[in-house]
Amino acid sequence: MVELKLGGATVTRIEESYEPNFDAQKFFADWNADVVLEHRAWLSPNHYDEASGFLKLSVHSWLIRVGGKNILIDTCVGNHKPRAYRPKWHMMETKYLERLAAAGVKPDEIDMVMCTHLHVDHVGWNTRLDNGRWVPTFKNAKYVFSREDYDFYQKMDADPEKGPVNGGSFRDSVLPVVEAGLAQMVTGAASLDEGLKVEPAPGHTPGAIAIKFESRGEKALFCGDILHHAVQVYHPEWNSFACLDQDNARKSRKAALEHCAGAGARLMPCHFGAPFTCHIESKGGGFAPRFDGNF
Ligand SMILES: [Zn+2]
């Protein structure tokens, strides 16, 4: 289990899946053979599967334990959810909650859930199946959602031409939380409890947020899908197929990397391969990841 200290906080990776799961060329339109040659030393096998040409992307949550509170950032795909359009995520049955328990936390002990945006692989464990109904998995938590993302997807979901959106996850993983009165919508920049700050980082989705954390002088940036893969540290101009606003996605990615390099904040992505987190260094007018040997 990946666990690290950030000041007075303990941060643990709660894995849902980690396997070659997306064709690199389809995921990044800019993917090319030269990039594989240039970066092979770190790329393979943790971040790229050369045999299949698939990216090896992790899907995980970060559990932050700080000041007696348990905070969960992003909630993966979830179990038993029909996602036929993406077979690897269809009707999953993973041991995610068992892994959370192994980290020492039961669902009822989660105080706050934060979704960096409302895509299917960031909201799934918000709810679980109970007698044929989707109910909040973390019933004692407040769930932090971006108001901009919520409004954007609610409108689209209600449009018979466009809904259900995000593979159905808006209906089975977001709405039940709102209906249970557990959602806390944030707009713009906001300071939350326990050294957490939310800042708008639009592009991948209209209301995507960057979550900044600081404890005893140590800093981290939970970036959601501002970056999907470590190759984007070298190529911040590369967007994924899932980035909605191309220009803003690039701007938000560059701003996140500049913040990490300038402030020494550890980058805490949702999908990077092992070791799943890194520092960012300025290098030759651009950036490079520094993976350390802590875990
Ligand atoms: Zn994602």
- Ligand 1 centroid – CA 11 distance (Å): 19
The segments of the chain whose pLDDT lies below 70 read 293-295
- Ligand 1 centroid – CA 204 distance (Å): 10
The per-residue pLDDT for 287 is 98
- Output the pTM of the full model: 0.96
Q: How far apart are the first and last CA of the chain?
A: 9
Is 42 exposed, middle or buried (CB count within 10 Å of its CB: 0-12, 13-18, 19+)?
middle
The per-residue pLDDT for 292 is 83
- Ligand 1 centroid – CA 270 distance (Å): 7
The per-residue pLDDT for 193 is 86
The per-residue pLDDT for 295 is 41
- Ligand 1 centroid – CA 205 distance (Å): 11
- Ligand 1 centroid – CA 229 distance (Å): 10
The per-residue pLDDT for 15 is 98
- Ligand 1 centroid – CA 271 distance (Å): 7
- Ligand 1 centroid – CA 294 distance (Å): 25
- Ligand 1 centroid – CA 119 distance (Å): 7
The per-residue pLDDT for 293 is 66
